[in-house]
């Protein structure tokens, strides 16, 4: 199931929060929320573990309590809204800091954060910490939305020139559409 889940993403990031933001997507004018399908939250957590973005202690702690998918979706939408409308920056960052207070993090010997409680608050706390760390490291200006009209993915543009979440998927499709549009206009 994890491999199947991985193929659903146009872009898998090295950042936990980007991957959460990309659990909603559109392909061929079909809007899909990956979190709404039964068992996909567990599969997403496993995929994040496989990618090295969550470790087994973090997942074990998160799984100690139930995860409220509606709250995770609301949190995701607030985050997406912030990255797509950056004028909301100040209140968003304050809200993130308060989210980490609901489930304070403790750090192991490798300085890896683990929430003090599980479930929804624990997961949101870890993701909020990831976002705040990205902000502190100056990553926010590099976060962009894919230029494809049919894709909702966000990605980190380290080169400053990237347009698509994935050249293999969205970039290629866009270039093929332009090519065929040019041919049909001749």
Residue 18's domain comprises 2-184
Q: How many structural domains does the chain have?
A: 1
Per-residue 3-state assignment (H helix, E strand, C coil) for the chain: CHHHHHCCCCCCCCCHHHHHHCCEEEECCEEEEHHHCCCHHHHHHHHHHHCCCCCHHHHHHHCCCCCCHHHHHHHHHHHHHHHHCHHHHHHHHHHHHHHHHHCCEEECCCCCEEECCCHHHHHHHHHHHHHHHHHHCCCHHHEEECCCCCCCCEEECCCCCCCCCCHHHHHHHHHHHHHHHHHHCC
Pair 155, 11: CB distance under 8 Å: yes
CB atoms within 10 A of CB 115: 23
Please report the pLDDT score of residue 24 as a whole number. 82
**CA separation for the pair 174, 6 (Å, rounded):** 22
In tens, the pLDDT along 120-137 reads 999 999 999 999 899 999
Give the predicted TM-score (pTM) of the model: 0.83
Residue 95 maps to which CATH number? 1.10.3300.10
Residues of the chain where predicted confidence (pLDDT) is lower than 50: none
Please report the pLDDT score of residue 8 as a whole number. 66
Please report the pLDDT score of residue 120 as a whole number. 93
Please report the pLDDT score of residue 185 as a whole number. 67
In tens, the pLDDT along 17-27 reads 999 999 887 66
């Amino acid at each position: 199931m994890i491999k199947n889940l991985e193929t659903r993403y146009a872009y898998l990031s090295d950042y936990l929060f980007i991957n959460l933001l990309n659990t909603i997507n559109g392909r061929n004018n079909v809007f899909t929320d990956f979190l709404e399908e039964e068992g996909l939250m567990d599969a997403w957590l496993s995929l994040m573990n496989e990618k090295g973005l969550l470790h087994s202690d973090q997942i074990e702690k998160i799984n100690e309590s139930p995860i409220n998918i509606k709250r995770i979706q609301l949190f995701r939408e607030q985050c997406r809204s912030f990255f797509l409308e950056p004028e909301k920056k100040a209140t968003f960052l304050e809200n993130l800091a308060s989210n980490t207070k609901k489930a304070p993090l403790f750090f192991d010997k490798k300085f890896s954060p683990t929430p003090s409680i599980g479930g929804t608050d624990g997961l949101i706390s870890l993701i909020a910490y990831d976002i705040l760390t990205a902000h502190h490291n100056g990553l926010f200006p590099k976060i962009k939305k894919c230029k494809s009209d049919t894709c909702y993915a966000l990605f980190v543009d380290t080169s400053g020139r990237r347009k698509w979440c994935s050249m293999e998927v969205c970039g290629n499709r866009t270039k093929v559409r332009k090519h065929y549009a040019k041919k049909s206009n001749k």
